Structure 1
Amino acid sequence: MYSTKPPSDAVIAPASVIKKAKVEVVTDRPRVHTMTESPVPSTRIGRIFHYGSLVTGMGIGAIREGVRRMGDSEESSHVGQSQSLFMSPANLEMLVRKLSRMRGAALKLGQMISFQDSSFLPPEIQQVLNRVQDSADYMPRRQLERVMTQDLGPSWRDKFSSFEDVPIAAASIGQVHAAVLTSTGQPVAVKVQYPGVASSISSDLNNLAMLLSASRLLPSGLYLDKTIANARTELAWECDYVREAESLRKFRELLKDDPVFDVPEVIDACSGARVLTMERMWGVGVAKIDMLPQEKKDWIASEILRLCLREVVEFHYMQTDPNWTNFLYNEQSGKIELLDFGASREYSTEFVENYVAVLKAAVRKDRKGCELYSRRLGYLTGLESPTMLNAHVDSILALAEPFMQGGDEDTLYDFSHQTVTDRVRALIPVMIRERLTPPPEETYSLHRKLSGAFLLCARLHAKVSTKKIFREIVESA
């Protein structure tokens, strides 16, 4: 692929079903996963059948779990909720296995949610979300041939002097193959979309919504309908490889003179609606750079955080996928390589101005300013209870802590000792219970990305000149 790492939402499946390839791939996670081949259900009827069998199977599993617990008086006296019956260990295995084989919208939605702090979710759902990050099958060669032929023609293999049929990574939307161009001998990464995934987005999400609603596992304050509507939009973007190619070219232009970042070149002659070929990148995923000196880790974390702020404030355009595997560090070039632009999106000038105003107010610890600009953004209606207002503003101030004024501007913020996550986590139950309106649509993906940057800084134990970065990018806006 770009390197030996998976794409943005890439996951390698556990030993689960069908046929195992004789290959093992080491991801940015500490485990080694065996890639598993299985056909992608590509028709609407076929996918509905799989969802129907999942619901039926989990219902039967719940009944079996209830019967089992009836025979264990001690356990039944402690566990009696239908929720626990529905998400029994056997049902969890069934759900992860089915989503891994289905791929598509449901698997992607789980991965999207799992990159946020999900401490407010029931432990059963957390377990599924964690598992689906580590499970996806790849399609058999006959389906690969069909997609490649439809996009690049029956002689598509002539475009490559070599093409590895077994992918080097499998994701929820597609899989990635290593190849070499016949025309130039250039190593490339070829991203191939699973058949039927794009056309099944709406039905997949509707089925998932019914499953989650029936199980009553999610609190009402999550606004599941808004979350799924947002996922429907983002997934349609990610399935549009022509749009992703345009986003890739835009970022390559935005960062063409940047001394820090590299963006791969799109190979138009080998790309189409469901196939995207690009220059292969050779860096190492930033989550795998433990052996680098700490000062280099600090630099990498600082530059990624700086880029996140630039994307919002300066570009009004952001690659919103928070997965750390989107960032590679190339020790030879000394640059950070950027990958996977399907989730890129534009922000209006009005949104950015109000969002920047909230950030500036938070850094000044101006609670009234935070409340005012939160209403302008649509976070608040003006009818919230004092409890909700305090929790909302407290969460903003906590998130702004690394950038707050006062003291020496060059003072380094130590992300390894931050308590921001714990403080925000403590406020989430209040905001879910008291919230009167869902968050602004733009902030779903924006906050996933910023949260991912913060978590990466913590993962690298980075010390960052956050005040200086904030002054240079946000205060000057």
Structure 2
Amino acid sequence: MTAGVMGNMAVGGAASLGRGQRPSMRDLLLTPRNVGRVADELAKMRGAAMKIGQLVSMDTGDVLPPELSQIMARLRDDAHIMPPAQLKKMLNAQWPDGWLRSFTKFDVRPIAAASIGQVHRATLKDGRDLAIKVQYPGVAQSIDSDVANVGALIRISGLLPKGFTLAPYLDEARKQLHEETDYTREGAQMMRFRDLLKDDETFAVPDLQDDWSTRQILAMTYMDGAAIEDLVDAPQTVRYQVATDLISLTLRELFTFGLMQTDPNFANYRYGQTSGQIVLLDFGATRVIGAEFANLYRQLILAGIARDTAEIRRVALDIGFIDGTTKPEHSDRILTMIDMVFAELTAKPVIDFADSTLSRKMQAEGMKLAEDGFVPPPLPIDVLFLQRKFAGMFLLAARLKAVVDVRSLIAPYLA
């Protein structure tokens, strides 16, 4: 893949020079052809490598040009699928002999194909309409080498500041991915969410089908719905409500449930065009969030809204955003970034996520930190997963160009 991309860059650079232009490395690298090639290769690799691509694909144009984000978006549901013979071999290994006689229909063409497995629609003779997630063979065994390779690429890229210790984060990524390959665990987490939301008509969660589920096959009721980001063309009221509901759910996960689905990949949300419900999918990255972290975030919000700089600094230390080794000029910049968020929330409690002014300011401050050699302190893993979820909700609301009364959503949890 690297050789092919470098070859494309060489050809593109020569063509630009021939036209009397001086091309930048960024422009040569981030061409649709190159990004398409990377997306295709990550789709073949699946697993940890594809997870990286999925995270990149959530960018809304602030970092990648929009057309390149669209190319990477195929990684949300477009991995290379198992051939029918390989699929049959996997099912035969997991289900009892003669299993096919229990079905009136089993579509060998998947309705979705992602990083860990692919999903098939099937109908049982007893009438159940199922979505059956089948894990790619060997994906669990490849996680350790995948993560090691991703780590090597990150180190080679030169993106990490000197002194930053990557190993603990790679270890946690490895652990998380191994958990995601345990479909028995995911099924249990799915049922926990189904129980937590059983009286909430806003959301729909599939029902686990134990009799057809194993550690590598997850069978659940089929739930129809459109891709959540396709709502960008929906009426304003729908876009605003969906963003509001998902941000509200994130707050409930943190402050009420103590349980959070921490993977905000857009493919994990669908919208029922008829029911108006948001369908929640993929609970492999579900984590218990301790009350101590929820309380720290509550304290941070209270301090931020009060614009209490001293209290913000204290809570930021307790959470781990800064520590005793952080240089004063770096901690001041981090606290400024936190204050920027709360200044926006205080001045405009109804947030227009389509306005990228704040995110661009935050990005500029982050770049200044990186250029000044800031080495982040070792963050607690729960904080990293929380921040990933918050960022994902921000990106989705921005994608939907939603306007949300965030202050009102937060208020009930500050008492």
The answer to whether structure 1 residue 162 and structure 2 residue 102 are counterparts is no
Secondary structure of the residue aligned to 2:199 is coil
Q: More displaced, 202-211 or 217-226?
A: 217-226
Shift of 1:66: 6.0
Q: Which residue pairs with 2:352 in the alignment?
A: 414
Matched, 1:142 2:74: no
> Deviation per CA, 1:125-158, whole angstroms, max 9, x where unpaired?
9899667557521010121112212222232223
Cα offset for 1:88? 8.9
Residue pair 2:226, 2:270 contacting (<8 A) in 1 also:
yes
Does residue 336 (structure 1) correspond to residue 275 (structure 2)? The answer is no
**Residue 282 to residue 122, structure 1, CA distance change in 2 (3 Å):** closer
Secondary structure of the residue aligned to 2:354 is helix
Which residue of structure 2 lines up, in the alignment, with residue 219 of structure 1?
160
CA, structure 1 residues 435+362, in 2 after alignment: closer, same or farther (shift >3 Å)? farther
Q: Is the 8 A contact 2:60 2:399 kept in 1?
A: no
Q: Does 1:463 align with 2:406?
A: no
- 2:63 and 2:16 mapped to 1: Cα distance? 30
Residues 63-72 or 225-234, more deviating = 63-72
- Say which of 183, 192, 202 aligns to 2:144: 202
Aligned partner letter, 1:102? M
Partners of 1:167 and 1:161 in 2: how far apart? 17
- Matched position secondary structure for 1:272: coil
Partners of 1:455 and 1:142 lie apart in 2 by 39
Q: Say if 2:176 and 2:285, in contact at 8 Å, map to a contact too.
A: yes
Asked whether the 8 Å contact 1:62–1:88 carries over to 2, the reply is no
* Map of 1:173 onto structure 2: 116
Instruction: Say yes or no: does 1:475 pair with 2:410.
Output: no
The 3 A distance-change label for structure 1 pair 166 and 120 is: closer
1:430 is matched with 368
Q: Secondary structure at the match of 2:110?
A: coil
* 1:228 Cα deviation from its structure 2 partner: 2.8
8 Å CA contact retained: 1:388, 1:430: no
| 1:283 maps onto 2:221 in alignment | no
Are positions 1:243 and 2:172 aligned together? Answer: no
User: How far off its partner does 1:224 sit?
Assistant: 4.3
CA distance 1:318–1:211, shift in 2 (3 Å)? same
Pair 165,111 (structure 1): closer, same or farther in 2 beyond 3 Å: same
Displacement, 1:95?
Answer: 3.9
TM, length-normalised to structure 2: 0.86
Q: Does structure 2 conserve the Cα–Cα contact (< 8 Å) formed by 1:121 and 1:218?
A: no
- Structure 1 residues 396 and 160: CA distance shift in structure 2, 3 A: farther
Please list the CA deviations of residues 351-384 of structure 1 after superposition, one character each: whole Å capped at 9, or x if unmatched: 2222221222122222222211111122211232
Counterpart contact for 1:414–1:463, Cα < 8 Å: yes
> Which runs of no fewer than 5 residues in structure 2 stay unpaired?
none
- Work out the CA distance in 2 between the residues paired with 1:401 and 1:265: 42
Aligned length: 411
2:320 to 378, 384, 393: 378
Give me the whole-angstrom Cα distance separating, in 1, the residues matched to 2:332 and 2:74. 35
CA distance in 2, matches of 1:137, 1:276: 19
Q: Which one scores higher on RCO, CA 8 angstroms, separation ≥ 6?
A: 1
Cα root mean square deviation, aligned:
3.4
What is the match of residue 130 of structure 2? 188
The residue type paired with residue 471 of structure 1 is: A
**Preserved contact between residue 120 and residue 428 of structure 1 (Cα < 8 Å):** no
Aligned AA (1:419): T
Contact kept? 2:58, 2:266, Cα under 8 Å: no
Q: What secondary structure is seen at the aligned counterpart in 1 of 2:325?
A: coil
Shift of 1:203: 0.9
Change (3 A) 1:77 1:457: closer
Aligned-pair identity (%): 33
Counterparts of 1:286 and 1:119 in 2: how far apart (Å)? 20
Worse-matched range after superposition: 225-234 or 449-458: 225-234
Offset of residue 108 of structure 1: 1.4
Deviates more, 1:335-344 or 1:287-296: 287-296
Whole-Å separation in 2 of the counterparts to 1:69 and 1:294: 44
Does the Cα contact within 8 Å between 1:413 and 1:463 map onto a contact in 2?
Answer: yes
Query: Could you say if the C-alpha distance between residues 168 and 129 of structure 1 is closer, same or farther in structure 2, counting changes exceeding 3 Å?
Result: closer
Higher helix share: 2
